[in-house]
């Protein structure tokens, strides 16, 4: 008997046309997109299906668009009777996981994402922050280099994605110094095309403005459990406000999350949402796990065929 985790992607996974096939072929998916348009007061479905790319990449569009697409895919599998044992999401994807686990309603979750995306977009109006992927560097070595680079400018570990892939976040001076130090140690640095220094102290202002919105929400106990980004363990109803507040300016412990899930007996990981970023991270982190993504008709049919095997 398979033990399954649904995992949900974060910002950066979006692409023009995502969700269009499922909207056209699954009434339950169409219902999700139509409801999202009503909740947001604009056609996020049109942005998903038709772009243009620059519009979809805008944080204020990308975040709700990814969550809506992910939940539409989740509803398709749920309608087919597929239930996960755990859920988890990478950064933004944690909101998809919480909606799927009924810790928050779709409407409240989407409204939170709308506000979160706006505050994060506004947090760095002068575009002083940036992010960069650090390849070929272990945590302990990078930790020392981060401390050294911090003497020049703000720079912190934003995402622990998988062995040998850590994302750093901070101001341009700090990242430049870190790049110099990493390259000298034989590592590689790839600047990321994002609009700010997410998951760092740069986002503290956004997090503080977001907390009152989190406090208004009527949370429920996640069922199935949701493994939180900030501590890589299941989050309780009572912890949700604080963990989501901290998540905006704290490291995403994704590698740790995958190891936790594997330790709980999870042997199958299903990525629900645009792209295959998270299945790639599973492959690099867990050598003995099964994994596949669901983003269109072909991948859904493949996933259902595997999951319904006796």
The first and second tokens of residue 197, run together, are 């220094």
* Residue spans per domain, the chain: 4-123+202-307, 129-194
**Residues involved in catalysis:** 91, 199
The whole-number pLDDT of residue 261 equals 98
Q: How far apart are CA 10 and CA 16, in angstroms?
A: 15
The whole-number pLDDT of residue 310 equals 45
Q: Give the residues across from 269 on adjacent strands.
A: 5, 291
Residues of the chain short of pLDDT 70, as ranges, are: 310
The whole-number pLDDT of residue 196 equals 86
Return the CATH superfamily for domain 129-194: Malonyl-CoA ACP transacylase, ACP-binding (3.30.70.250)
The whole-number pLDDT of residue 87 equals 98
Decide: pTM greater than 0.85: yes
Please determine, looking at this structure, whether the domain spanning 4-123+202-307 carries the CATH number 3.40.366.10.
Answer: yes
The first and second tokens of residue 88, run together, are 């988890």
Are residues 120 and 99 in contact, defined by beta-carbon separation less than 8 angstroms? no
The first and second tokens of residue 175, run together, are 């990242």
The whole-number pLDDT of residue 126 equals 81
Q: In b/e form, how buried is each residue of 191-221, taking b as 16+ CB within 10 angstroms?
A: eeebbbbbbbbbbeebbebbeebbeebebee
The first and second tokens of residue 52, run together, are 């243009």
């Amino acid at each position: 008997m398979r033990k399954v985790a649904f995992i949900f992607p974060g910002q950066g996974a979006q692409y023009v046309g995502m969700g269009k096939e499922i909207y056209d072929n699954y009434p339950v998916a169409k219902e999700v997109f139509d409801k999202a348009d009503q909740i947001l007061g604009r056609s996020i479905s049109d942005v998903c299906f038709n772009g243009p790319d620059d519009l979809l990449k805008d944080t204020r569009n990308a975040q709700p668009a990814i969550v809506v697409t992910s939940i539409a895919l989740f509803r398709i599998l749920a309608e087919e009777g597929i239930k996960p044992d755990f859920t988890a999401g990478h950064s933004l994807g944690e909101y998809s996981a919480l909606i799927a686990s009924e810790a928050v309603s779709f409407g409240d979750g989407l409204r939170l994402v709308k506000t979160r995306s706006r505050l994060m977009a506004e947090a760095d109006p002068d575009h002083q922050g940036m992010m960069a992927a650090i390849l070929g560097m272990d945590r302990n070595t990078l930790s020392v280099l981060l401390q050294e680079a911090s003497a020049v400018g703000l720079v912190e570990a934003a995402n622990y994605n998988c062995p040998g892939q850590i994302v750093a976040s901070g101001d341009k001076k700090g990242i430049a110094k870190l790049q110099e130090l990493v390259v000298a140690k034989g590592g590689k640095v790839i600047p990321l095309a994002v609009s700010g220094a997410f998951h760092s102290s740069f986002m503290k202002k956004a997090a503080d403005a977001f907390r009152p919105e989190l406090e208004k929400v009527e949370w429920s106990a996640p069922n199935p459990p949701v493994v939180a980004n900030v501590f890589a363990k299941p989050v309780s109803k009572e912890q949700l406000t604080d963990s989501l507040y901290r998540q905006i300016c704290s490291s995403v412990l994704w590698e740790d999350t995958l190891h936790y899930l594997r330790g709980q007996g999870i042997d199958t990981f299903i990525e629900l949402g645009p792209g295959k970023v998270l299945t790639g991270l599973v492959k690099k982190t867990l050598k003995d796990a099964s994994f596949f993504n669901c983003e269109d008709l072909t991948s859904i049919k493949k996933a259902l065929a595997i999951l319904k095997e006796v």
